[in-house]
Amino acid sequence: MDLVKGGDIDNTRQAGNSPLLLYTVSYITGILISPHLNIPPTYSAIIAYSATLATFLISLASIKLKDFRYSKIIKLLLLLSMCLAGNFNNSIRLSSTKNKQISLLVKEKKTPLKLIVKNSVKINRNSSSTFCFSKEYNEKILLYIDKKYPAADIHIGDTIILNYSGSSVERLAINGNNGWVDYLKSKGVLSFGYVKSGEFRVIKPRQKRIPDYLLNKKSSLIQKLNRIYPDKNWVALTAALATGDKTNLKKEIRSAFSASGSMHLMAVSGFHATLLYIFLSSLLSFMGNYRAMKIFRGVLIIASLWMLAIVAEFTPSATRSVIMLSFYIISNSFSKRGVSINTLFASALIITIVNPQAVYDAGFLLSYTAFASIIFINPIFRDLIKTENKIVRWLWGIVTVSIACQIGTSLISINLFGYFPPYFLLSNILLVPIITLILYAGLVAGIFAVIGIGYDFLIGILNYLSETAILIVTRIESLPHSVIKLDPGPGVEISIAVIIIVFFIEYGISKRVKKYIIVASIINIALCLLL
């Protein structure tokens, strides 16, 4: 699915030779163990800077004396510096949110407040709702708005001025909706409030940021299509597949995709980014292959890919794939070697530097585990059948990638969601071609809509393809034992982690790649500290 080279590259050797492999693992390890070390940010910074300074001084001395016997010590100090840097970055975030388990906005008396709208407004039957942020209190809230107010006029980036009286989100669990409360807390939302029409005012910003503009355009387009085509599943399904926005998707359809093991297709990832890259590369191929034109074309494609990441709200899977494709395009524009596995670790490092808490996100774990599975597990199955027939090779590629990803991500997904979809292979074989056509048809229909050319024919195709996809997942969900529920205990999880580490070390020894042994040792140390 992603741009990973096939048989001409030894992915294992390339990953082992990646200079960023150890440093990325060390940095993420520092993030993971920081809550358990309880080192204040000031001390953490002093230790990190000291390790970095010691590394610099030893490196300088070895160069001056032309004595490079200390290269291993320098390497270990660099790894320690990265680990401490991760610890420092996350400890700052933890210290700033340490007291956020209790909302400062849960008050009986109304308080004058300015709230910035962070998400598109969801219009419900009894009221509308949106997530807002208070700069004054550094806190997110869930705001319910009176149904009498035209909530469609409120956009991302707007400022709402009101007298706010909030309640703890724990009160939303009265009706047994514990999952919703847990979700809100994971997003940093600890209070909710209700505002009546006429008791607040909305201030529009003079100039909106590009991300806010694109997200508002996405929201308004989806709302417009829902008004024009009410009760049409293709609108919600296309929006979910193209942007990851599952707000308007019916629960039964969402449940069917989950049960069939194809919910991952609704997460914007390398699959979506690669399809967009292929489409734009073909569309702009008329520009030729002169250096200047290749660079200009690369800039246009990279800008479009980052727009996709914005529309997907910078989910870890979307960000990873866009970073990697950007590296690939830059390399290709300057006639250099294509994307290497090193960019995988570079993307992980960039994401965790910007947001250390991303390592706890299920999307981050599943995205990188799936990509690692494509690198290491997929070649084993791919090489079982070798054919020159492009159609057979493409279909076999879908099969092998699906098997590899499912093997790699099963332990995480079972632990997170508590079930295993045994018909995942069948659903992926049937759905991937259909989803590809839906995404391309939706993209072309959008271009025709902007130009003003009739696109009714394409909408008919989207409707037919969407209903076909829904029929497939519904039938698969109705098959016997379509969902196998599992609940592994802590003992099983620890045992699996130990087995993975052992195999990792054995794999490194058999392939003669020392970095795998070092990585396994670092992970083992991190697990010991976590436990």
Which one is predicted more confidently, 209 or 499? 209
Residue 474 to residue 337: CA distance in whole angstroms: 44
Q: Which residue, 85, 172, 92, 68, is CA-closest to 129? A: 172
Tell me which range, 12-16, 160-164, 442-446, is most confidently predicted by mean pLDDT.
Answer: 160-164
Chain position carrying tokens 């991302």: 156
Question: How confident is the model at residue 504, as a pLDDT?
Answer: 66
Residue 192 to residue 168: CA distance in whole angstroms: 6
pLDDT for 336 beyond 80: no
Q: In degrees rounded to 5, what are phi and psi of residue 112?
A: -60, 130
Concatenating the DSSP letter of every residue in 238-261 gives HHHHHH---TTS-HHHHHHHHHTT
Which whole number is the average pLDDT over 326-341? 73
Q: Which residue, 387, 526, 528, 394, is CA-closest to 27? A: 526
Question: Would you list the domain boundaries of the chain?
Answer: 11-99, 111-203, 488-531
Task: Give this prediction's pTM.
Answer: 0.81
- If pLDDT is split at 50, 70 and 90, which confidence band does 50 have? confident
Which one is predicted more confidently, 255 or 509? 255
Window from 273-287, 294-308, 359-373, 487-501 with minimum mean pLDDT = 487-501
Which residues sit opposite 134 in a β-bridge?
Answer: 139
Which one is predicted more confidently, 194 or 37? 194
Question: How confident is the model at residue 302, as a pLDDT?
Answer: 93
Question: How confident is the model at residue 308, as a pLDDT?
Answer: 92
pLDDT for 430 beyond 70: yes
Separation in Å, CA 124 to CA 24, 151, 188, 330 = 44, 10, 23, 45
- If pLDDT is split at 50, 70 and 90, which confidence band does 526 have? low
Q: Judging by DSSP bridges, how do beta strands 111-117 and 159-164 pair with one another?
A: antiparallel
Which residues sit opposite 192 in a β-bridge?
Answer: 142, 167
Residue 510 to residue 401: CA distance in whole angstroms: 24
pLDDT for 364 beyond 90: no
Tokens representing residue 359 in the block:
């390592």
pLDDT averaged over every residue in the chain: 80
- If pLDDT is split at 50, 70 and 90, which confidence band does 1 have? very low
Separation in Å, CA 354 to CA 99, 182, 215, 362 = 22, 24, 21, 17
Q: How many CB atoms lie within 10 A of CB 179?
A: 9
Q: Judging by DSSP bridges, how do beta strands 200-203 and 111-117 pair with one another?
A: unpaired
CA angle centred on 194, ends 193 and 197, rounded to 5° = 150
Amino acid at site 521: S
Tell me which range, 129-143, 324-338, 501-515, is most confidently predicted by mean pLDDT.
Answer: 129-143
- Given CA atoms 140, 178, 236, 121 in this order, what sign does their dihedral have? negative
Q: In degrees rounded to 5, what are phi and psi of residue 518?
A: -65, -45
Q: How many CB atoms lie within 10 A of CB 29?
A: 24
- If pLDDT is split at 50, 70 and 90, which confidence band does 517 have? low
> What are the pLDDT digits (tens) for 291-307?
888 889 989 999 999 99
Tell me which range, 34-38, 70-74, 440-444, is most confidently predicted by mean pLDDT.
Answer: 440-444
Concatenating the DSSP letter of every residue in 75-133 gives HHHHHHHHHHHHHHHHHHHHHHSTTTTS-TT--SS-EEEEEEE-SPPEE-SSEEEEEEE
pLDDT for 6 beyond 50: no
User: Who contacts 246 (Cβ-Cβ below 8 Å, separation ≥6)?
Assistant: 236, 240, 254, 266
Window from 123-137, 445-459, 492-506 with minimum mean pLDDT = 492-506
Residue 198 to residue 183: CA distance in whole angstroms: 30
Question: How confident is the model at residue 339, as a pLDDT?
Answer: 53
Look at residue 134 and give its three-state secondary structure. Answer: strand
Instruction: Look at phi and psi of residue 283 and say left if phi exceeds 0, alpha if psi is from -120 to 50, else beta.
Output: alpha
pLDDT for 146 beyond 60: yes
Decide if 256 contacts 477 (C-beta within 8 A).
Answer: yes
Concatenating the DSSP letter of every residue in 421-469 gives -TTHHHHHHHHHHHHHHHHHHHHHHHHHHHHT---HHHHHHHHHHHHHH
Residue 104 to residue 92: CA distance in whole angstroms: 20
Separation in Å, CA 327 to CA 264, 269, 298, 347, 483 = 24, 16, 10, 10, 39
User: Who contacts 522 (Cβ-Cβ below 8 Å, separation ≥6)?
Assistant: 22, 25, 26, 29, 79
Residue 181 to residue 185: CA distance in whole angstroms: 6
- If pLDDT is split at 50, 70 and 90, which confidence band does 472 have? very high
Residue 50 to residue 162: CA distance in whole angstroms: 48
Which one is predicted more confidently, 13 or 412? 412
Asked if CATH classification 2.40.50 holds for the domain at 111-203, the reply, yes or no, is: yes
Residue 386 to residue 396: CA distance in whole angstroms: 9
Decide if 83 contacts 34 (C-beta within 8 A).
Answer: no
Window from 101-105, 121-125, 214-218 with minimum mean pLDDT = 101-105
pLDDT for 35 beyond 80: no
Question: How confident is the model at residue 206, as a pLDDT?
Answer: 81
Q: Which residue, 320, 271, 326, is CA-closest to 304? A: 326
Residue 531 to residue 524: CA distance in whole angstroms: 11
